[in-house]
Every structure is written in structure tokens, then in C-alpha cells.
């Protein structure tokens, strides 16, 4: 939103408040007109400045005349009536996982951005903050209604998981360490404060970029199609156990898969779809699960992938335009999809004592193997392999197929690398000890404390050195 010189002020939707562009730091002060009325009904209209996030309706003179101890009649309304009032203030559309730069006005939503463009988001955190500053009781009531009624969108790709404009989960380096983003502390604070247990509605969008590598993204230089599928699937598993399972009650869950290319074989699309949506079948007690289908669209993958890339925006939010609706390649009306969707939705809707099944023994075994691999990778960087030869990838393929024989073979190969390192260390230690023995034998000069060291004594001294 552009500032309008010379006053550098723009008017918001409320008649009594004029505010400046929030994307410019020096224009943070808002200007308002006093709404106090005298005995004749005339409005004061005196200009005053106020600071967000709490609006001010009266000038300093009339603020002193306000009875701050007056009762709040709104709180005297029945709770049921207040809940109905709150519903009119709730978002009417899905709270998307990304934000977007637009040249138009933000339609009343909170905005931040740069001159010439406004970064709009419909995640109404300022709305909840306003209620929190107004009254703790009102905030608690609004919070329950908000999280119960709103639908939150989650975007999953090989670049991480996005929710409410925040990267709640990102890719890891080959040695298992996390990539550090400038907004990591902000994201961590969001994860801690988000009311995961109160959310009842989610929409999950899974994106397979299939080979697109952004300029300067060296982490994706060793791209492999199968590896990307399993990378995204691992993110889906974390979403199932770390996000969806935390909800006390899931009313609706919609899952959609997006592909960037149309040259996949139909059978391969079906098998990949089962692989990616399979982790959701661990969920139970979902009232209205829905598998929306599989779509693709050439030319969309670059925009979709940029939603998740950290360098797009200093606030770790996307700056890409909304995507057009892609073409459905596997959806309702197709026999293969209908059979898959019916079984998938029936599985999620089953009533169980717990809303999620426990992890399988192979999954627990893989977690321990991953810890071992990451530990050895820091000691022996040469064990880090890429693409399908990666130890972790081969182990997770065996995990998904419940193939314990292949899994143990991968473990044995990794341990062979460790034993080879130990053997090399033993050889190095033996060589150094041999050279040290010769040096001691050659030193025949007298010492202050020991006198002259004889050659026989030097050879039988048994001096060793331990490099480990």
C-alpha cells in the first residue's frame, strides 16, 4: 500500500481511524478523530495519534472523562449469544499456508509489505491480539470459536511444510543437521503458541516439483525422482503424527496431491499417490475425511515451489501469485481413484479409542538407524551418499515395504564403513608407534633425571600412542 504524500497517511475501513502504511517503519503512528459527543450530540472531532495494535476512539481530554470502571455489558450477555456474535467475525475462507504480494488493497486484512505492494494474509493474529488486550475472558471465548471454525491449509513439498505463512518444518542437511533460517526463532515461537489441540479443520496440499531446481539452490543439485517422493512422504508422516494427531477432534480433513508434469505413467501416478497419502491411514475418528484427487499443470511447479523457499521474503513468507486450478489426472469418476478414495476415507473415519495408531516396529527401528547414521556422518563425512545410494533412503524404502532383510543389509553396510575406519586407525597407530620407537632408540643423550638411555631399554620400554 503506497503512502500518499505529503501527509503520508491513508484511511482504513473504519471511519474514525486513519493509518499509515504499516510496511514503512517511520510511518507507524496512526491518526484518528475523537468520537466523543457533547450534550447536544456534536462530535468532538479533535485529531489525535495512537499506536497499534489497540485502536483509540477518544482524544486525551475525553479519555480522562471515560469511566474505566464502568461495567462491560457485553460480558453480561449469555455465553451462547456471545458465541454467535463471534461467528460473524471469523474467517469465511480457508486460512492459506502462504501470503501473497498484491498491488490492490488488502480488503480489511492485516498487511505488511513494501511501498508499491502490500503483503496480504488472512491469518487474523491481530484480531486475537485485540481481544486479548480487551479482555482475557473474551479472548478465551474467541480463541475456541476461531480454531474450531477456521480451516487451516498446510502445504507440503520437498522444501518443507508451511502453515499460516510459517515454515514449521524444513529440509535437513545430509548429516541430519537443520538448515538455519533468519526467522527460525519466530517460527519456533509460532509453533509453541499455536493451539494445535483446538483445530478441527485442515486442508493438506502435497506438491511434487519433479526436478525443478531453483537458481542457487545447491541443496537440490542431486535431485532424484524417487528420493523426492520419499522426502515428501517423510514430511507427511511428521504432519500426521506431529500436527493432525494433536487435535482433540478432527471434523474435516481434505488432502490434495499436485504434480508439476503430465508425463508420468498412469500406473506410476497411482502407486506414487498411494505412497504419499498412505501415512494418513494411521489417523482415526475423522468425521469427514476427503481425498480431493491428483492434479498436474505444466508451468505451475516453479511458482508452487517458491512458496516454500526461504529466500523469497525476509519474513520467510511467499511472494508468488495464487496458482490457477490445474488439470485433474486422478479424481472422482475414475475407477482407480474411486476405489482408493473409498478405502482411504473409510479408514480415517473408523472409530477407535485413540485418534491415531501407534508407530510400527519398523518405523521405530528406522528412527534409531537414522540417529546412528547422522552420528557416523559427522565423524565420517564420506559415508554421506546422494540420491538413491544414500543409506537413509535405502533404509526408508525397506521400511515402507516392511523388508527387514533389506533393512539389515543397509545396516550391515554402514557398520562395515565404521569397522573399516577403525582398522585404518589401528594401522595408523601402529605406524606412528613404530616411528616413535625408532626415534627413542636414536636418542642416546643423557637426561637430567634418567641419565643415559640404553638402546635395549628403549626398545623394551613399550611406548605406545593412542590416536582414538
pLDDT of 42 reads 81
The C-alpha cell that represents 225 in the structure block: 525422482
State yes or no: cis peptide before 303, omega within 30 of 0.
Answer: no
Residue 189 predicted with pLDDT over 50:
yes
pLDDT of 97 reads 80
Please tell me the distance from the alpha carbon of residue 330 to that of residue 336, in angstroms, as a whole number.
Answer: 8
Report helix, strand and coil shares of the chain as percent, to nearest 5: 45, 15, 40
Q: How confident is the model at residue 408 (pLDDT cuts 50, 70, 90)?
A: very high
> Which residue did the predictor score with more confidence, 35 or 455?
35
CA triplet 234, 240, 241: central angle to 5 degrees? 95
Q: What is the pLDDT of residues 307-330, one digit of tens each?
A: 444 444 444 444 444 555 678 899
Domain boundaries, the chain: 10-70, 79-358, 365-427
pLDDT of 308 reads 47
Distances (CA, A) of 378 to 48, 101, 383: 60, 41, 9
Q: How confident is the model at residue 424 (pLDDT cuts 50, 70, 90)?
A: very high
Residue 346 predicted with pLDDT over 70:
yes
Distances (CA, A) of 54 to 10, 25, 50, 323, 388: 18, 18, 8, 35, 55
The DSSP secondary structure of 66-96, one letter per residue, reads S-TTS--GGGGS-HHHHHHHHHTTS-SS-B-
Contact 145, 200 (CB under 8 A): no
Tell me the CA end-to-end span of the chain in Å, nearest whole number: 62
Alpha-carbon 237 to chain mean position: 13
Q: How confident is the model at residue 138 (pLDDT cuts 50, 70, 90)?
A: confident
Q: What is the pLDDT of residues 151-178, one digit of tens each?
A: 999 999 888 898 887 888 988 887 777 7
Alpha-carbon 62 to chain mean position: 47
Query: Mean pLDDT, to the nearest integer, of 84-109?
Result: 62
pLDDT of 110 reads 34
The C-alpha cell that represents 315 in the structure block: 519474513
pLDDT of 468 reads 39
pLDDT of 457 reads 54
Q: What is the pLDDT of residues 33-62, one digit of tens each?
A: 787 777 777 888 887 777 665 556 777 777
Name residue 28's beta-bridge partners.
Answer: none
Q: How confident is the model at residue 205 (pLDDT cuts 50, 70, 90)?
A: very high
Cβ burial of 382 (10 Å; 0-12, 13-18, 19+) is: exposed
Distances (CA, A) of 67 to 39, 57, 70, 72, 271: 17, 14, 5, 11, 68
pLDDT of 3 reads 36
Strand order in the sheet with 30-33: 10-11, 17-19, 30-33, 47-50
Query: Mean pLDDT, to the nearest integer, of 406-424?
Result: 96
The C-alpha cell that represents 397 in the structure block: 524404502
Cell numbers 475423522 correspond to 286
Amino acid at each position: 500500500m503506497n503512502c500518499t504524500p505529503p501527509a503520508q497517511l491513508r484511511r482504513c475501513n473504519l471511519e474514525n481511524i486513519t493509518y499509515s502504511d504499516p510496511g514503512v517503519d517511520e510511518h507507524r503512528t496512526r491518526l484518528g478523530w475523537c468520537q466523543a459527543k457533547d450534550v447536544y450530540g456534536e462530535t468532538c472531532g479533535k485529531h489525535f495519534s495512537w499506536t497499534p495494535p489497540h485502536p483509540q476512539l477518544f482524544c486525551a481530554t475525553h479519555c480522562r472523562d471515560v469511566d474505566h470502571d464502568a461495567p462491560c455489558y457485553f460480558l453480561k450477555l449469555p455465553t451462547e449469544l456471545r458465541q454467535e456474535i463471534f461467528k460473524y467475525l471469523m474467517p469465511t475462507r480457508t486460512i492459506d499456508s502462504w501470503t501473497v504480494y498484491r498491488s490492490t488493497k488488502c480488503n480489511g486484512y492485516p498487511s505488511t509489505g513494501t511501498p508499491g505492494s502490500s503483503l496480504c494474509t488472512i491469518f487474523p493474529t491481530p484480531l486475537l491480539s485485540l481481544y486479548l488486550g480487551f479482555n482475557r475472558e473474551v479472548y478465551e471465548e474467541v480463541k475456541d470459536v476461531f480454531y474450531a471454525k477456521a480451516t487451516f491449509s498446510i502445504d507440503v513439498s520437498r522444501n518443507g511444510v508451511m502453515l499460516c505463512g510459517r515454515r514449521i518444518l524444513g529440509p535437513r542437511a545430509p548429516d541430519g543437521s537443520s538448515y538455519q533460517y533468519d526467522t527460525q526463532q519466530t517460527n519456533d515461537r509460532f509453533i509453541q503458541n499455536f493451539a494445535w489441540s483446538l483445530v478441527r479443520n485442515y486442508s493438506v496440499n502435497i506438491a511434487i516439483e519433479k526436478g525443478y531446481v531453483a537458481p542457487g539452490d545447491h541443496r537440490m543439485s542431486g535431485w532424484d525422482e524417487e528420493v523426492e517422493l520419499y522426502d515428501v512422504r517423510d514430511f507427511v508422516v511428521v504432519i500426521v503424527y506431529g500436527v493432525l494427531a494433536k487435535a482433540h477432534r478432527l471434523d474435516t480433513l481434505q488432502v490434495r496431491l499436485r504434480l508439476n508434469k503430465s508425463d508420468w505413467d498412469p500406473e506410476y501416478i497411482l502407486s506414487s499417490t498411494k505412497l504419499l497419502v498412505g501415512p494418513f491411514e494411521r489417523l482415526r475418528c475423522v468425521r469427514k475425511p476427503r481425498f480431493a484427487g491428483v492434479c498436474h499443470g505444466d508451468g505451475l511447479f516453479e511458482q508452487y515451489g517458491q512458496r516454500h523457499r526461504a529466500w523469497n521474503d525476509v519474513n520467510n513468507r511467499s511472494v508468488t501469485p495464487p496458482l490457477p486450478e490445474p488439470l485433474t489426472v486422478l479424481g472422482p469418476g475414475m475407477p482407480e481413484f474411486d476405489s482408493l478414495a473409498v478405502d482411504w476415507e473409510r479408514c480415517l473415519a473408523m472409530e477407535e479409542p485413540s485418534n491415531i495408531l501407534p508407530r510400527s516396529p519398523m518405523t521405530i527401528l528406522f528412527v534409531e538407524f537414522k540417529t546412528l547414521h547422522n552420528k557416523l556422518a559427522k565423524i565420517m563425512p564420506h559415508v554421506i551418499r546422494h540420491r538413491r545410494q544414500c543409506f537413509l533412503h535405502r533404509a526408508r524404502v525397506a521400511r515402507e515395504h516392511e523388508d527387514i532383510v533389506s533393512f539389515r543389509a543397509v545396516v550391515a553396510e554402514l557398520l562395515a564403513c565404521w569397522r573399516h575406519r577403525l582398522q585404518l586407525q589401528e594401522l595408523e597407530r601402529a605406524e606412528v608407534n613404530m616411528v616413535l620407537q625408532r626415534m627413542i632408540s636414536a636418542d642416546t643423550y643423557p637426561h637430567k633425571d634418567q641419565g643415559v638411555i640404553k638402546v635395549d631399554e628403549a626398545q623394551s620400554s613399550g611406548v605406545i600412542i593412542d590416536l582414538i
